[in-house]
Amino acid sequence: MTMRYRDSGVDIDKANEATRAIARLVRNTWGEEVLSEIGHFGGLFAVPREYREPVLVSSMDGVGTKLLVASAAGRFDTVGQDLVNHCVNDILVQGARPLFFLDYVAAGKLEPAMVASVVTGLAKACRENGCALIGGETAEMPGLYRGGDFDLAGTIIGIVERDGVIDGSRIVPGDVVFALPSNGLHTNGYSLARRVVFEAMGLALDAHVEALGCTVGEELLRVHRSYLKPVTEIAARAAVKGLAHITGGGILENLPRIFPKGCAAHIHRGSWPVPPIFPLLQKGGDVVEGEMYRVFNMGAGMLIVVSAEDATRVPAVADGLAVHRVGEIVKGGGNVTLV
C-alpha cells in the first residue's frame, strides 16, 4: 500500500497555500532594512546605521488560553495583534524599539483561512509599531494537536542605545509611579476569566452584558494595547527610570521585577480607572481582591517610574491615553503594597 504524507494528517499543499496567502501581508511590513525574501531559510535585517552603540533586545511570548476564545468565536486576527503588541511592550520596558518579528503557528490541521487571519493581525500590529514581520513558521502536527487546536507564539528583536537601556537601577525612594490604562484583560488571566464567565456565570460568547456595553466575545477579544507611542511621548519629556509591563502576576509581581535593592512601592487603589470586566469577574467568581491583583492587570497596563522632579513633566495625556499618577517608591524589601 502506497502512503503519502497527507494520509498521516499533514497536507503540504495546504501549507503552501497558506504561505502564498500571507506573502503580500508580510511584505507590507518591510522597509529597506529587510534584505531577504519570503521562502529563504533565514530572515536578513540590516541594523540601522544611526545607532552609536546598538544593543539588541529580544523576547518571545504567546497568547495563552485566549486562543480558546478566538477559536470558539471563529475570529483570529485579534490574537495576532495581541501577540505583537505584547512582545513590543516586553522589550519597551528596557527602552527598546522593535525592529523585526517572527511568528510560529502550530495546529492539528492547518486551515489557510485561519492562518491568513492570524497573519493579518500580526501584519497590522507590526505596521502600527514600525516593525517588520520578517519570517515565521507554520507547522501541522495532527499527532500533537487535536481537531481545531492550535498554538501561536512569537519572537521580537528590538534595539536601544547602550546608554539608553532602562533597567530600573536608578530607581530610589521618593520616585513617582504613573500608569497607562489597559483596555481589559489584554492576554493574561484567561484561564480564570473563562472559568468565571463560562462556568460560574454561565454566559455565552454572544451574550450582551450591560455592565460591559458589549458581548462577552467582544470583551474577551479586545486587543492587547501597545504602549510604544505613549511611552515614547512621555520619555521625550521626562527621564524614565523604570517601566513594568503588567502581565501575568499583575502589579504585585511585575513592578518588583525592576526594583533595585532597598526599594518597594505603595500603589493607591482608586487612582486609575478599573475597566468593568474586572469587577464583573471578581463578583461572578467570588475572587478575593488579592488574587485579582496577582492575576490581572486591573486596568493598569504599563507602569512608569520617574523622579519626583520629573513627575511634573509627565503629560496628562500621551498618544490619546490618560496618564495616571498611581503611587510612589518607598524604602522596603521589594514588595508592592496596595494602599
Q: Give the tens place of pLDDT for each residue, 138-185.
A: 888 888 888 778 899 999 999 999 999 999 999 999 999 999 999 999
Give dist(CA 295, CA 312) in Å, integer: 31
CB-based contacts of 140, cutoff 8 Å, min separation 6: 9, 10, 11, 14, 15, 106, 107, 108, 109, 110
pLDDT at 15: 58
Averaged pLDDT, 300-318:
97
pLDDT at 112 (0 to 100): 85
When pLDDT is averaged across residues 187-196 and rounded to a whole number, the result is 96
Domain ranges of the chain: 10-164, 176-338
Check whether domain 10-164 has CATH 3.40.190.10, yes or no: no
pLDDT of residue 3: 46
Strands 321-322 and 317-318: antiparallel
Q: What percent of the chain has pLDDT over 70?
A: 94
Is the pLDDT assigned to residue 7 strictly greater than 60? no
Buried b (16+ CB within 10 A) or exposed e, 73-108: bebbbbbbbbbbbbbbbbbbbbbbbbbbbbbbbbbb
User: Which tops the pLDDT comparison, 25 or 77?
Assistant: 77
CB 89 within 8 A of CB 302: yes
pLDDT, average across residues 110-120: 90
Give percent above pLDDT 90 in the chain: 80
Instruction: Please state which of the ranges 19-28, 240-249, 305-314 shows the lowest mean pLDDT.
Output: 19-28
In this structure, what C-alpha cell is assigned to residue 9? 494528517
Give all strands (DSSP E) within the chain, no chain letters.
54-62, 97-107, 132-140, 150-161, 176-181, 208-209, 214-215, 240-245, 263-267, 300-306, 317-318, 321-322, 324-331, 336-338
- Comparing 86 with 9, the larger pLDDT belongs to 86
Average pLDDT over residues 27-44: 85
Q: What is the CATH number of domain 176-338?
A: 3.90.650.10
Cβ count near 220 (within 10 Å): 25
pLDDT tens string 62-79: 999 999 999 999 999 999
3-state helix, strand, coil split of the chain in percent (to 5) is 35, 25, 40
Q: What is the CA radius of gyration of the chain?
A: 21
Q: Cα 227 from chain centroid?
A: 9
DSSP codes joined into one string, 200-266: IS---TT-EETTTTEEHHHHHTPPPPP-HHHHHHHHTTS-EEEEEE--TTHHHHHGGGGPPTTEEEE
User: Does residue 11 register a pLDDT over 60?
Assistant: no
Distance CA 215, CA 16 (A): 36
Coil, helix or strand at residue 151:
strand
Q: In three state form, how does the secondary structure of 66-81 look?
A: HHHHHHHHCCCHHHHH
Distance CA(45)–CA(29), nearest Å, equals 13
Say what the pTM is: 0.92
Q: At what angle do helices 77-92 and 228-235 cross, to 10 degrees?
A: 30
Residue 81 has pLDDT above 90, yes or no: yes
Which pLDDT belongs to residue 24?
77
Between 296 and 15, residue with greater pLDDT: 296
Q: Which of 12, 11, 38 is nearest to 23 (CA)?
A: 38
pLDDT higher than threshold 70 for residue 222: yes
- On the question of pLDDT at 304 being above 70, the answer is yes
CA distances from 10 to 93, 109, 121, 190 (A): 40, 7, 25, 30
Angstrom distance (rounded) from CA 299 to CA 301:
6
Distance of CA 303 to the CA centre of its chain: 14
